[in-house]
């Protein structure tokens, strides 16, 4: 009797990572850690945000006591924004970053407080769109939806190959040799 195993589901998640202004000089080391941790850097950009752009980016923090300092700090110099991809990217990146509380982070992970990571899937999508407006973020189909999607495009690919007007026309003449 043969047991049928379900087909593996591969789901790649994306998250935003930011190297903040005060540790931008450690970019190479940080990228090395990111890559060794199984992430793929799909987008990367060095930029400097204005205080207004920082306010828009950290809109969820608006009204908190640290908000003015945060926007001032994040606009104080250049930063590097990266889109990281891997299975469960958000949770793995958050684990690498350590505690989200800046007070706890300073004591336990003093060198990692200079990095940012998306809090959840919705934040990751919003933050990636903010830093990389040209990126298209589509839901990644899984299961039957993925099969339907692929079947549609493999059919189209087959049809295009079959009906390609640029296909060279080769003459197939059979030469028969008599002994």
Catalytic residues: 116
Determine the Cα–Cα distance for residues 71 and 57; give it in Å rounded to an integer: 9
Report the sign of the C-alpha dihedral through residues 70, 75, 76, 77, in that order: positive
Tell me the Ramachandran region of residue 11: left when phi exceeds 0, alpha when psi lies from -120 to 50, beta otherwise. Answer: beta
Asked if residue 24 lies in contact with residue 72, where contact means CB atoms within 8 angstroms, the answer is no
Q: Residue count of the chain, please give it.
A: 179
Pairing, β 40-47 against β 79-86: antiparallel
Following DSSP, what letter does each residue of 83-122 receive, concatenated? EEEETTHHHHHHHHH--SSHHHHHHH-TTTTTEEE-SSHH
Determine the Cα–Cα distance for residues 179 and 169; give it in Å rounded to an integer: 31
């Amino acid at each position: 009797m043969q047991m049928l195993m379900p087909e593996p589901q591969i789901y790649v998640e994306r998250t935003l990572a930011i190297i903040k202004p005060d540790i931008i000089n450690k970019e190479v080391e940080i990228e090395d850690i990111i890559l060794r941790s199984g992430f793929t850097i799909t987008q990367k950009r060095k930029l400097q945000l204005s205080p207004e752009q920082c306010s828009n980016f950290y809109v969820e923090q608006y009204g908190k006591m640290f908000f003015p300092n945060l926007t001032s700090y994040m606009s104080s110099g250049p930063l590097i924004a990266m889109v990281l991809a891997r299975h469960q990217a958000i949770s793995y990146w958050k684990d690498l970053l350590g505690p989200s509380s800046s007070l706890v982070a300073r004591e336990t992970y003093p060198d990692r407080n200079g990095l940012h990571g998306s809090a959840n899937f919705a934040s990751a999508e919003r933050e990636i769109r903010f830093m990389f407006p040209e990126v298209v973020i589509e839901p990644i189909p899984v299961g039957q939806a993925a099969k339907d999607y692929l079947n549609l495009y493999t059919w189209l690919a087959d049809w295009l190959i079959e009906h390609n007007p640029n296909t060279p026309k080769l003459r197939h003449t059979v030469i028969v040799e008599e002994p």
